Amino acid sequence: MKLNLTPEEYSAKAKALFEQGYNCAQAVLLAFEDITNLDIKTAAALSSSFGGGMGRLREVCGAVSGMFMVSGIVRGYNNPDATDEKAKHYAFIQNLAAEYKKENGSIICRELLKLPGAESPIPEERTAEYYRRRPCGEYVAHAALLLARTLEADEG
């Protein structure tokens, strides 16, 4: 797929969106708004449930969920009988997950952040201290970079 930005620009855009207060999934999905053709309000609402490892349950990392959402929009299948397309898409998703895990050690939020499972549903205040001790901005940047590079390499 022909991208409009470089992988590094998508990465920087995703990190900046996270630093504006969007959750990890929102930051990644919104960074690719130029190729998903989703308006910002719809994309932000669609991905809002996936922050904090899915509603602060600390399950699949929101940055990974964001990568998967973009992948589904730009490369997914929509026919329930499309067995070959489904298998090809799932292979693409599994490759993304494996690459992310190879670089970061996991795709699970609580493992990445070394936290227990589900926490209070109340999100932490985004302060300078929050950003200093949380590596989430780097995970978001890496997810966007990985996805952009993979989409770019998959052009052929």
- Tens of pLDDT along 112-122? 999 887 878 98
Q: How many domains does the chain have?
A: 1
- pLDDT classification of 37: cutoffs 50, 70, 90: very high
Residue 30 resides in a domain: yes
Residue 47 resides in a domain: yes
Query: What are the distances in angstroms from CA 31 to CA 23, 24, 99?
Result: 12, 11, 20
Query: What are the distances in angstroms from CA 79 to CA 51, 61, 73?
Result: 28, 27, 13
- pLDDT classification of 156: cutoffs 50, 70, 90: very low
Contact indicator for 107, 101 with CB cutoff of 8 Å: yes
Q: What is the pTM of this model?
A: 0.95
For residues 128 and 93, give the distance between their C-alpha atoms in angstroms, rounded to a whole number. 34
Residue 57 resides in a domain: yes
- Tens of pLDDT along 39-56? 999 999 999 999 999 999
Q: Which domain holds residue 75?
A: 7-153
Percent above pLDDT 90 for the chain: 85
* Helices within the chain (DSSP H only): 7-19, 24-31, 33-36, 40-47, 51-54, 62-75, 83-104, 109-113, 128-133, 136-153
Residue 14 resides in a domain: yes
* C-alpha dihedral sign at 17, 22, 28, 33: negative
Residue 148 resides in a domain: yes
Residue 53 resides in a domain: yes
Residue 1 resides in a domain: no
Residue 2 resides in a domain: no
